[in-house]
Amino acid sequence: MMETLLGKTLPELQDVALAVGLKRFAGKQLAEWLYVRRATTFDEMTNISLAGRQALAERYTIGRSRPVAEQVSRDGTKKYLFEALTPHGKQFVECVFIPDADRATLCVSTQAGCRMGCRFCMTGAHGFHGHLSAAYILNQIFSIPESAQLTNLVYMGEGEPMDNIGPVLRSLEIMTADYGCAWSPHRITVSTVGAGEGLDRFLKHSECNLAISLHNAFPEERAEIMPAERLRPVRQALNWAAQQDFRHQRRLSFEYIVWHGMNDTMRHAQQLRRLVAPFAPQCRVNLIRFHAGVDTRFPATDDRQMQWLCDYLNDNGITTTIRRSRGEDILAACGMLAGNPDLARFLQ
């Protein structure tokens, strides 16, 4: 099987150039064609000799592929389905394009499925089907029709990014490096359910924003709906986060899906305030309506209680917003991605 160039860093591309008989500086040219000009064929690389392009084509592939299916929500959100090859075989993964006034955000997947096992999440119910390489992560960003419009990225699609930290960090480097896309890291947010080696590496090696999927501020209650709490305790994640500078560098946010009677009471509100207060006023709490895409025991709270919780936190110095739901009618909202191959068969 030929190697893929997409997802390689500049030093690796310099090694590729040398391996096919080109000068080392051709690695920088390859990076520009891949990440700036977004070439999809070697023929486009006109400042590389014909012999060099032929040698590259004999040993490497670009690594770009178009989505195999697309769905459009009535609110303008678009969900794209991609094929990806993982150690578990060929899989399907989804990403979501969210246009909103002057912002255009892509919600990116980092795994096919997820192994965190959150009880309320369709992705978790789908099971785990393999890590995505940096090439497949970047392909989502580069190969949607709206790629040139993107202003922000959120690594909040299928999978736990910190559970696949090597390819995630590689993709973040390429998106933010001068030789790559040269994005500001502040335009990218990466989510996590909690602590672990991956989060430690992310905090040390990336300046991108961090979003912690919290959903309950009591560890024992959180563990009931998010089993990863037992191995990836959120309090440890907060201890690590406390060592970061969230005032002048990366931003910190907390994601909080709200369920009736389960995490929207005064007791929960007070505990949530206590937990995130050390990060105020720099942090933000995003309250999220629950989308019951699978048969669960989790009742969504009503708008009145959601607004009460938002007001309580804001009144107590915690910047809080209610995230507007997008794409629910096409199963593209928070926690609803499941890499459904039936979508591809239906639309073909």
Which residue numbers are catalytic?
A: 94, 334
Residue 76 region by backbone torsions, left for phi larger than 0, else alpha for psi between -120 and 50, else beta: left
Distance CA 77, CA 100 (A): 9
Nearest to 192 by CA among 224, 155, 225: 155
Distance CA 278, CA 296 (A): 34
Nearest to 190 by CA among 203, 174, 204, 177: 203
Residue 299 CA: distances (Å) to CA of 210, 227, 324: 28, 19, 18
Distance CA 111, CA 213 (A): 17
Cis ω on the peptide bond leading into residue 11 (within 30° of 0)?
Answer: no
Distance CA 29, CA 191 (A): 33
Residues 6+ apart with CB under 8 A from 232: 192, 193, 194, 195, 196, 199
Continuous segment of H or E residues that includes residue 122: helix 122-126
